[in-house]
A and B are shown apart, each in its own frame.
Chain A
Amino acid sequence: MRRGVLLAGIVAAVVAAAVLAYFFVYLPSQQRGKIKVVVYAYLDRITGIDPSIEDDTGIPVIGVVYETLVRYDPATGDVVPVLAESWEHSEDGTLWTLRLRRGVVFHDGTPFNSTAVKLSIERAKGIYEKFGRGSGYIWSSVEEVEIVDEYTVNIRLSYPTRLDLMAAAIYSAYIFSPSALAKAGVDSPLDPELESWFNQGNDAGSGPYYIEYYSPESEVRLRKFEKWWGWSLVNNPDAPDVVVIKIMTDPLSQYNGLLAEEVHIASSVPRANVGDLASRGFKVLNVTLFHNYLLLFNIRRYPTNITSFRLAVIHAIPWEELVQVALRGFGRVGKGLIPHGFPGYDERLAYKYDLTLAREYLQESGVPKGTTIEFVYQGEYEENEAFAQLLKSRLAEIGITVELKPLPWIAVKDAGKAVWEDADRAPHLIISDWWPTIPSPYEFLALLHSTNTEWNWAGYNNAEFDELLDKAYELEGEDYELALQLYARAQKMVFDEGVAVNLWDEVRPFVVSSRVDLPEDALNPLYIYVIRFELVKVRD
């Protein structure tokens, strides 16, 4: 009996201690909130943070930690100064002079200057040329980066290009501190050890936040860089002290995180839950991104090698229903190949949903009813699945059977590329989602260039189209307006032939807690998923 009393006493003491700890230690500590923290839920694991190489999912980190020379402004279609304050080019467009911002320091305290610019451009270009990695091809026209003085560089090009647009690229355009080489213990900027050094979580940027903790599979913690040159310009005393980019690969987990008030900005909650979150007081910021979903036809395989058959399929797509029902409103009907607001976008290049016309095209094609076609798409995207089901039902109405093949992304890519080796092994229809590296129409149209066998999943090979594209790209630095006209002709050509169509442009709902203000300017459709946290405000 005595032992029982003792046991009961111990249990009572433990429970009492737990209750006291909860009320007197835990609850008061929850009220502290001395540090302004924003937790940003991001859907993808971070694949790397090398500023010259990474061209995948590391951009939300790199875009905050590093800076480019200029930034693309979607409102004007032009660029605005960042690390370069001003720039000019020679009449023939092959010599660009950049004047750099003074008083900028990198996170380790070393000053930003011409050497950093030369090193950053040459490394991105060199790595691409040597290993084929990254997006350093954006600097392919660069012949020489010449240091004029500490804050002036001359960039000599082998042919005229819009260097200002290249310098605003989402990938491989970031400037890093030359001190990184010594820290990584390498002599050459092309040494693979430097990439390893970056990917261990080290940073050499000049952006408003620096990396404090790097765990690419779960979270990246960024700390406010007090010496950032732009704080006086943004004048935002409520900017977060700490930003946590939390990797949440399951949309439902992001939704739960918002409800639990442990996530303040979510990039990817399930579309079906956005309305529920709005009704609970969360703010929803819908951003139309330069990210679209293209339907490509295998033009080397029967029956998608017949133009009128392709047009029959295209006219069986219920465009409005696709966006309103299948995408729950989170999309804009695609036009041509280029997304809304992007250079080269053409409102007129639109198809209509017309089953009568679709039947006429089908009859014209001579393809018998009951024909089966294969459709491959990335199964992880709920939007793709919704579209696939919709297309299947509509094509069934005109007598075409669609065999749906949802696959993981890497398998989709293998299936798409097969069109060049064995067209009959490649699917008739395939979805490719695409986003640009630089703000140029070339980025989207080059998907159908005959030399682009990696991504041209239509197997399209048209010398006239290729020539128009190549000429337009070369003209960008010389006569931008004329270049745009050539791009427009090329785009119209594939529109008429129905080789590929832009199904929809992505509208991404960023769901934001009431504790946080996320201004529209903090999101840019070119720099997908990058949030300019220096503009974000955290309420107490």
Chain B
Amino acid sequence: MPLSLSYLVKRVAWSITVIVGVVVLSYLIIILSPGDPAVKWAGHPRGPGAAKAVEQARKELGLDQPLHTQILNFLRMVFTGDLGLSIAYRQPVYDVLWRNLAATLELLLVAYAIGVPLGSFLGVFAALRRGKRVDGVLQAIGTVFANTPTFWLGLAIFMALLPSGFTAYGRVNVSLALSTGFYTITGLYLLDALLQLNFPVFVDALVRLLPPALAVAAYPVGVCLRIGRTLMADALLEEYVRAAAAWGVKRRTIVWRYAFRAALPGLVQVSGLAFAYSLVDAMVVEYVFGREGLGRLLYDAVSVNDFRLAIGLLVIVAAFYLIVNTLADIAQALIDPRVRL
């Protein structure tokens, strides 16, 4: 077994430390920045009794306590899983988060499902033709894709599609969803439509999802292409690969079973690291395509000092990032017998 208990314990301890750090830093940044969350909690009162309402709100939010008490109380809320009501929306924080997390996850997963295999395949393709013109072109494409601002790319795709009459705005056509009786179960529209066997909504949700997903996929395509090409090119020069060729092993077997397998752990590691960037990209692209999601939610939460919602969201993003990278490490250990965790 390449996985040890001490690795898991260390990883969990490290994750808790990271989350405590995220909470404390975020809390300080939001609370010490200009503006008073109590004003929002009181509903921006405008009448003569506004001061009284704000004072009451400050007590309800615990903002009348010393700063260290506030932070400890907030940490307790985070680790007991009850962040209370959002200051901006007066709804349970986790309800608001889940509604939006599902939208972002759907976009991110589809983008990754496109980006990672495509980038990896192109990387292998380029490595097999290293030194030729097609290799240079693909490497250039990889560099461009990995460095293109996703917001700009999303906007370009959106505007390019407009003249065709093909709309990629929002998550689903409202009239279609209503007329076919579509309702949300998990918040992942593709899955929900499939569960309800609602094919019109499935197709509609898919065609709206693909353009923003392509924009988000640009980064993993670029990164996997460039890293995949390098790893694969190195693997192809290994002695065991050359020996296999000398023994007359089929080229396809050499490429995919020997060389690619050697490149795979590195690719998995890079994909895990790229995940955080893609999450941020997804949060940005949502804006362009009029989709709800964590990006809009975070921006709105910070702009009104809704520290409960903003920090809840950051904790989820941090936890997500930690989980994905842990999974990437574990996958690497399972794939590569040289790695022991």
The residues in A between 409 and 439 inclusive whose CB is less than 8 angstroms from any CB of B are: 409-411, 413-414, 437
Q: Output the least CB separation between B12 and chain A (Å).
A: 32
- B169 near A131: Cβ-Cβ < 8 Å: no
- B174 near A454: Cβ-Cβ < 8 Å: no
Would you give the 0/1 interface string for A1-37, flagging 1 where the beta carbon is closer than 8 Å to chain B? 0000000000000000000011001100110111101
- B297 near A35: Cβ-Cβ < 8 Å: no
**Contact of A260 with B178 at beta-carbon distance under 8 Å, contacts A132-B51, A216-B91, A408-B303 already known:** no
Assembly CA distance A149 to B174 (angstroms)? 45
Q: State which size class the interface on A falls in.
A: 35 or more
- A199 near B91: Cβ-Cβ < 8 Å: yes
Residues of A within 8 A of B136 (CB): none
**Contact of A217 with B300 at beta-carbon distance under 8 Å, contacts A133-B42, A410-B305, A411-B34 already known:** yes
- B158 near A455: Cβ-Cβ < 8 Å: no
Residues of B within 8 A of A136 (CB): 47
- B44 near A47: Cβ-Cβ < 8 Å: yes
**Contact of A217 with B297 at beta-carbon distance under 8 Å, contacts A54-B43, A134-B45, A257-B170 already known:** yes
Residues of B within 8 A of A132 (CB): 42, 45, 47, 49-54, 56
Q: Output the least CB separation between A177 and chain B (Å).
A: 21
Total inter-chain residue pairs, C-beta < 8 Å: 180
Judge whether A462 is part of the interface by a CB distance below 8 angstroms.
no
- B43 near A26: Cβ-Cβ < 8 Å: no
Which stretch from A86-94, A241-249, A353-361 is at the chain B interface?
Answer: A241-249
Q: Which of B49, B88, B296 has the most CB of A within 10 A?
A: B49
Judge whether A48 is part of the interface by a CB distance below 8 angstroms.
yes
Would you give the 0/1 interface string for B104-136, flagging 1 where the beta carbon is closer than 8 Å to chain A? 000000000000000000000000000000000
| Chain B residues close to A by CB (< 8 Å) | 34-36, 39-40, 42-54, 56, 85, 88-91, 96, 99-100, 158, 162, 167-170, 173-176, 178-180, 199-200, 203-204, 207, 287-290, 292, 296-297, 299-300, 303-305
> Beyond the given A137-B47, A216-B90, A262-B169, could you list 12 further A-B residue pairs with CB under 8 A, ordered by the A residue number?
A29-B204, A45-B304, A47-B88, A47-B89, A55-B45, A132-B47, A134-B43, A216-B96, A260-B162, A260-B167, A263-B290, A410-B39
- 26 contacting pairs across A/B (C-beta < 8 A): A21-B203, A22-B207, A26-B200, A29-B203, A30-B173, A30-B204, A32-B179, A47-B90, A48-B90, A55-B47, A132-B45, A132-B54, A133-B43, A216-B90, A217-B100, A217-B296, A249-B299, A257-B170, A260-B168, A260-B170, A410-B34, A410-B39, A413-B39, A414-B36, A455-B46, A455-B50
| Chain A residues close to B by CB (< 8 Å) | 21-22, 25-26, 29-30, 32-35, 37, 39, 45-48, 53-56, 128-129, 131-137, 195-196, 199-200, 215-219, 242, 244, 246, 248-250, 253, 256-257, 259-263, 380, 407-411, 413-414, 437, 451-455
